[in-house]
Amino acid sequence: MEKKLILVIEDNGRLRRYVCSNLKKAGYSVLEADSEKAAYSLLKQQYPDLILLDLRLGDYDGIEILRTIRKQEEYLPIIIVSSIDNQDIKVDGFNIGCDDYITKPFYIEELLGRVKRLLKRSAHQNEERSAISEVIKSGPFSLDINLLSVTKNGDPIVMRKKLFDLFLFFVRHPGMVVSYELLYNRIWDSLDDRKEGSLYVHIRHLRSLIEDNPSRPHYIKTIKNVGYVYSPGIRNSR
């Protein structure tokens, strides 16, 4: 059976080597990253089965890595391993999407137990896997996950967060017919936010920003009574 791959993002070299050594002894394959840049470089090339994430990476806040991953991958197990024992920080981590939070110092047996539990749970998920990156390119568009910015052919497009999240979902699922219900479930925060016609208004606004001619959309096409489909670079023949 293929070994599970764990990515350890930790800038403390001694602790990182200790954790990685014990993970290998437990039968896992391991990738190491000591910075945000190194983490993204590895994530672009390989898809780990689980991530151990420190929150203090030099001058960089590890919570931003969590945020970037969760905008692209909902089910990848992530355990925050941090010296920050603050309730508000923990709540933020869980709200953004970490699966577990363990405070330093810790017993290695406890960490290994949590890793094993999460991997067992995630084995039942059957999501399509794709590379994770802080910048995504699709057709003429470039989306920066950290900055929540979009460019088209190099020209900036000013876009509010909800529209950015909506467009990012389309970009992550090119050619897929996306139902209205799926978009509401993934993009809207609560039932209270799902006002009648809200999705239609957001789609119309998004088209006004990304399309050359919003009345004849090239990128986001309507599938009547079903939903929408995003096709990068493919023109609508209507």
Q: Is the pLDDT score of 226 beyond 70?
A: yes
Better pLDDT: 127 or 30: 30
Q: How many Å apart are CA 200 and CA 183, to the nearest integer?
A: 11
pLDDT given at position 238: 38
Domains of the chain, each with CATH number or no CATH: 5-122 (3.40.50.2300), 162-230 (1.10.10.10)
Residue 8 phi/psi, 5-degree rounding, is -105, 115
Is the C-alpha dihedral spanning 31, 44, 5, 73 positive or negative? positive
Neighbours of 61 (CB within 10 A): 13
Average pLDDT over residues 26-30: 96
Q: How many Å apart are CA 22 and CA 108, to the nearest integer?
A: 8
| pLDDT tens, residue by residue, 52-76 | 999 988 878 889 899 889 888 888 9
Reference 184, options 169, 204, 174; nearest CA is 169
pLDDT given at position 234: 52
| pLDDT tens, residue by residue, 155-173 | 999 998 889 999 999 998 8
